[in-house]
């Protein structure tokens, strides 16, 4: 079984109006090379579900998003995401703003083929005021508590960046926090992986490696070899986030053309060269808090 795909193969699977889930968290382990490829394409009107970072910002800057389902959009050390802010402040995107845990709950419901999962989270807040589609459910037990029925966030496609994969889609996230990528994969009809390394099954490291296999290969439709594919976000333990680049990217909200000419509309290799090459990226230290 060979699931190796090209960027074009992934783009061919996307169409206008689809719901796309993006793995990672803020400025961490985002499938940025795939996001840049979507920005180059003519795909539009996407609904995007994300623990948002520059993935959301770049898609906003390219007017690819019709609706954003999110709990936050942030670049971590740069707390506010300038491109996302601009899109919101100009009323360019529809939003479904949720608590971070509600996003997880929605993905989990989708992963379990359930219509919803109950939660208290959201009660007493404007999350419910601004999302009139969110309904309530009453506990059928003696407490009869009124809870939020968090609807399933079913995804057409999930895009996830990992450290290692074989060509069958046995993936490994070696960084200490796998975030909610497993749920994105389970909530999606198809999942495309971008991977730092593509190795043989043997090279995945047997039992010691298998604990880093966060979801099974049957969930994986395609595997793309994308070394440094998370840049400018981090990919622990290989490289940290590129703060200098994120600052330049952040500043570019004022005049995007210069940033775009320098770094975008390129092949992945050309992009890597434009930001200093793979060796430079691999030398970016992991962030410390």
| Interface contacts to another protein, rule CB under 8 A | 25, 52, 70-74, 79-80, 84-85, 88-91, 97-102, 104, 120-127, 129-130, 145, 176-180, 287-289
Q: How far is the CB of 177 from another protein (least distance, A)?
A: 5
Q: How far is the CB of 125 from another protein (least distance, A)?
A: 5
- Per DSSP, the residues of 40-104 read HS----EEEEEEESHHHHHHHHTT-EEEEEEEEE-BTTB-S-HHHHHHHHTT-SEEEE--HHHHH
Q: How far is the CB of 126 from another protein (least distance, A)?
A: 4
Give residue for tokens 């989270």: 121
Q: Which is nearer to another protein, 176 or 206 (CB)?
A: 176
Give residue for tokens 């971008």: 194
Task: Tell me the Cα Rg of the chain.
Answer: 19
Separation between Cα atoms, residue 260 and residue 264, nearest integer Å = 5
Q: Which is nearer to another protein, 97 or 167 (CB)?
A: 97
The secondary structure of the chain in percent helix, strand, coil, rounded to multiples of 5, reads 35, 25, 40
Q: 196 and 226 in contact (C-beta within 8 Å)?
A: yes
Q: How far is the CB of 237 from another protein (least distance, A)?
A: 11
Q: Which is nearer to another protein, 215 or 263 (CB)?
A: 215
Q: Which is nearer to another protein, 70 or 271 (CB)?
A: 70
Q: Which is nearer to another protein, 209 or 287 (CB)?
A: 287
| Residues composing the chain | 289
Distances (CA, A) of 280 to 29, 110, 244, 276, 285: 17, 39, 12, 6, 10
Closest CA to 95 of 120, 135, 126, 62: 126
Q: How far is the CB of 171 from another protein (least distance, A)?
A: 17
Q: How far is the CB of 184 from another protein (least distance, A)?
A: 13
Q: Which is nearer to another protein, 99 or 197 (CB)?
A: 99
Separation between Cα atoms, residue 4 and residue 171, nearest integer Å = 12
Q: How far is the CB of 78 from another protein (least distance, A)?
A: 11
Q: Which is nearer to another protein, 130 or 262 (CB)?
A: 130
Separation between Cα atoms, residue 287 and residue 149, nearest integer Å = 37
């Amino acid at each position: 079984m060979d699931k190796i795909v090209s960027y074009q193969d992934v783009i061919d699977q996307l169409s206008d109006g689809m719901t796309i889930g993006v793995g990672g968290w803020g400025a961490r382990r985002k499938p940025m090379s795939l996001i840049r490829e979507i920005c180059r394409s003519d795909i539009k009107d996407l609904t995007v579900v994300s623990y948002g970072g520059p993935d959301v910002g770049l898609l906003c800057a390219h007017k690819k998003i019709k609706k954003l389902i999110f709990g936050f959009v942030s670049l971590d050390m740069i707390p506010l995401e300038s491109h996302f802010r601009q899109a919101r402040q100009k009323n360019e995107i529809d939003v479904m703003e949720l608590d971070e845990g509600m996003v997880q709950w929605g993905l989990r419901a989708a992963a379990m083929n359930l219509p919803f999962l109950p939660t208290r989270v959201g009660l007493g807040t404007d999350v419910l005021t601004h999302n009139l589609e969110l309904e309530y459910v009453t506990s059928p037990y003696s407490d009869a508590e009124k809870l939020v029925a968090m609807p399933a966030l079913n995804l057409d496609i999930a895009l996830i960046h990992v450290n290692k994969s074989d060509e069958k889609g046995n993936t490994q996230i070696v960084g200490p926090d796998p975030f909610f990528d497993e749920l994105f994969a389970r909530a999606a009809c198809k999942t495309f992986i971008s991977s730092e390394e593509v190795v043989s099954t043997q090279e995945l490291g047997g039992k010691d490696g298998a604990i880093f296999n966060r979801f099974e290969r049957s969930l994986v439709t395609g595997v793309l070899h994308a070394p440094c594919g998370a840049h400018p976000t981090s990919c622990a333990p290989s490289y940290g986030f590129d703060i200098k680049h994120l600052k330049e990217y952040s500043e570019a909200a004022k005049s995007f053309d210069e940033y775009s000419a320098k770094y975008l509309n390129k092949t992945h290799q050309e992009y890597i060269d434009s930001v200093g090459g793979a060796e430079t990226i691999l030398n970016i230290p992991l962030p410390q808090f």
